[in-house]
């Protein structure tokens, strides 16, 4: 099985103002003359991790990564103003133009897969290939599955769900996202942070196939928890700023673009049906359903992702 490439440091970092409010943190790694690829992180609001650089052969790829609006090292932190799917799509295109890239590979997982599809369907002429992991199509059903009482995820990870549930009084539990939204926007910082940590504990601990219910998860740092929870609640309560089934309806725009889709069979955060629905609409794409959960670090998912980026480098580099 393929493994991640060795750790690598950026050869350049920069800031890019994309509005009067927002300034993005951008990293470039690998070979400045290599095949350009843009990495789209999850969340929204999760920001970059150093291992995100490692899905690409650094000798053959020019790897461009950035923290989306309100996330990571981009500023202002956790800010919701002018922060929608379509603002982020415009930001990706702004980065492409800023770096003088004509066409590039687009790589995204979880929320990043949503954003990758929205970008590619808006600017197909600039996309050489797509590598998509943990498909999230932005539907109300997907959000309810993981975040609401009538969803299914609570039956899989009941220990974690209980902490997520306990923060909200019984009379408000009919709409958990809205109840969390009110707390994430409280004037009381302690209320905001407590809600963010409970939201992030629920999500961050449900990513892997091998699950320890006592493990803290990936988002225990308060600032990261706040950006993740606040931006996710903002996007989810607005149906991630997409029309119903929009990404499936618009597959025709990207049908000719080489694409690999990988999804964990036991992904509890983003159920595999979303990948199945996408592949049915897009039979030209290569679908891999593997023994894994949601995490991009699960070995079976790493194997497919690295194999896919290597294959695109063989084709285009």
3-state secondary structure of 66: strand
Average pLDDT over residues 178-191: 97
Q: Give Cβ neighbours of residue 294 (< 8 Å, ≥ 6 apart).
A: 110, 134, 206, 207, 208, 264, 267, 268, 269, 270
Taking the CA atoms of 83, 88, 90 and 95 in sequence, report the sign of the dihedral they define.
positive
| Cα 159–chain centre separation | 25
Find, among 272, 222, 293, 285, the residue nearest to 78 by Cα. Answer: 222
Mean pLDDT, rounded, for 261-270: 97
Beta bridge partners of residue 127, listed in sequence order: 104
pLDDT of residue 249 exceeding 70, the answer is yes
What is the spatial distance between Cα 252 and Cα 273, in angstroms, rounded to a whole number? 20
pLDDT at 225 over 90: yes
Q: Is the peptide bond before 44 cis (omega within 30 degrees of 0)?
A: yes
- Single pTM value for the model: 0.97
- What percent of the chain stands above pLDDT 90? 94
For residues 234-263, give the mean pLDDT: 98
Average pLDDT over residues 179-201: 96
Beta bridge partners of 291: none
For residues 280-294, average pLDDT: 98
pLDDT of residue 217: 63
In contact, 61 and 312? CB cutoff 8 Å: no
Q: How confident is the model at residue 198 (pLDDT cuts 50, 70, 90)?
A: very high
Q: What is the pLDDT of residues 137-146, one digit of tens each?
A: 999 999 999 9
Mean pLDDT within 251-256: 98
CA 132 to the chain's CA centroid: 10
d(Cα 277, Cα 279) in Å, to the nearest integer? Answer: 5
Interval 238-248: pLDDT, tens = 999 999 999 99
Mean pLDDT, residues 40-66 taken together: 97
Percent of the chain surpassing pLDDT 70:
99
Q: What per-residue confidence (pLDDT) applies to 205? A: 86
How far apart are the C-alpha atoms of 94 and 201, rounded to whole Å? 34
| Domains contained in the chain, CATH given | 12-139+240-316 (3.40.50.1820), 141-238 (no CATH)
The chain-wide mean pLDDT, for the chain, equals: 96
pLDDT tens digits, 99-144:
999 999 999 999 999 999 999 999 999 999 999 999 999 999 999 9
Beta bridge partners of 14: 26
For residue 216, what pLDDT is reported? Answer: 65
Residues annotated as catalytic are 110, 267, 294
């Amino acid at each position: 099985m393929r493994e991640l490439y060795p750790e690598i440091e950026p050869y350049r970092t920069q800031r890019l103002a994309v509005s009067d409010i927002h300034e993005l943190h951008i990293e470039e790694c690998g070979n400045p003359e290599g095949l350009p690829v843009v990495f789209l992180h999850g969340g929204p609001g999760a920001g970059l991790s150093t291992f995100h650089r490692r899905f690409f052969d650094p000798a053959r790829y020019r790897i461009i990564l950035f923290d989306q609006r309100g996330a990571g090292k981009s500023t202002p932190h956790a800010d919701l103003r002018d922060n929608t799917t379509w603002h982020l799509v415009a930001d990706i295109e702004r980065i492409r133009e800023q770096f003088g890239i004509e066409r590039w590979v687009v790589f995204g997982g979880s929320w990043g897969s949503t954003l990758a599809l929205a970008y590619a369907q808006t600017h197909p002429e600039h996309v050489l290939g797509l590598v998509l992991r943990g498909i999230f199509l932005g539907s109300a059903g997907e959000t309810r599955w993981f975040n609401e009482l009538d969803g299914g995820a609570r039956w899989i990870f009941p220990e974690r769900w209980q902490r997520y549930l306990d923060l909200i009084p019984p009379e408000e539990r009919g709409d958990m996202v809205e109840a969390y939204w009110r707390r994430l926007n409280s004037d009381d910082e302690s209320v905001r942070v407590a809600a963010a940590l409970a939201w992030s504990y629920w999500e961050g601990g449900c990513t892997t196939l091998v699950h320890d219910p006592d493990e803290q998860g990936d988002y225990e740092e308060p600032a990261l928890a706040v950006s993740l929870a606040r931006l996710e609640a903002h996007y989810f309560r607005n149906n991630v700023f997409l029309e119903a089934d929009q990404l499936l309806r618009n597959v025709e725009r990207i049908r000719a673009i080489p694409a690999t889709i990988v999804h964990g069979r036991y992904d509890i955060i983003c159920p595999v049906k979303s990948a199945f629905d996408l592949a049915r609409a897009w039979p030209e794409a290569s679908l891999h359903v593997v023994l894994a959960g949601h995490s991009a670090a699960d070995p079976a998912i790493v194997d497919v992702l690295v194999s896919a980026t290597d294959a695109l480098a063989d084709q285009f580099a």
